[in-house]
């Protein structure tokens, strides 16, 4: 029981020092760029800088607007090394 209390105390101290925020910040992000390619399924978009974005079915976007040369802004969560889109917007030219 004391060991559990010690671990919990250490975890709380680490979180209060901002360690937890650093971990969370690495798991979410935003990106903006020009589409270089779209896979045939329309689920994976590659930007000109090489960033690959996976767009799940539950994210609403006009799939036909996702085409080479289009500018996009996307929010994502990183899971298992993949950038999973939580929101994506195709910019008007």
Q: What is the CATH number of the domain that holds 82?
A: 2.40.50.320
- Residue 53 belongs to some domain of the structure: yes
Q: Do the strands 52-54 and 82-90 form a parallel or antiparallel pair, or are they unpaired? A: parallel
Q: Is the pLDDT of residue 4 over 70?
A: no
Is 15 inside any structural domain? Answer: no
Residue 9 lies in a domain: no
Instruction: Identify whether 22 is part of a domain.
Output: no
Q: Which domain holds residue 55?
A: 28-90
Q: What is the pLDDT of residue 47?
A: 98
Cα distances from 67 to residues 3, 48, 90, in angstroms, run 55, 12, 10
Q: Number of structural domains, the chain? A: 1
Confidence band of 92 (pLDDT split at 50, 70, 90): confident
Give tens-digit pLDDT for 7-65.
Answer: 556 666 665 655 545 444 458 999 999 999 999 988 999 999 999 999 999 999 988 89
With respect to residue 59, please indicate whether it lies within any of the assigned structural domains.
yes
Domain assignment of residue 23, yes or no: no
Kindly write down the DSSP assignment for every residue of the chain, as one continuous string: -HHHHHHHHHHHHHHHTTHHHHHHHHHEEEEEEEEEEE-TTS-EEEETTS-EEE--TTS---GGG--TT-EEEEEEEEETTEEEEEEEEEPP-
């Amino acid at each position: 029981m004391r060991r559990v209390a010690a671990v919990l105390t250490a975890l709380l101290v680490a979180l209060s020092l901002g360690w937890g925020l650093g971990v969370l910040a690495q798991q979410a992000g935003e990106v903006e760029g020009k589409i270089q390619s779209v896979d045939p399924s329309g689920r994976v978009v590659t930007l000109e800088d090489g960033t690959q974005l996976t767009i799940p079915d539950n994210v609403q976007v006009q799939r036909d607007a996702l085409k080479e040369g289009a500018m996009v802004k996307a929010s994502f969560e990183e899971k298992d090394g993949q950038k999973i889109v939580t929101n994506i917007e195709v910019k008007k030219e």
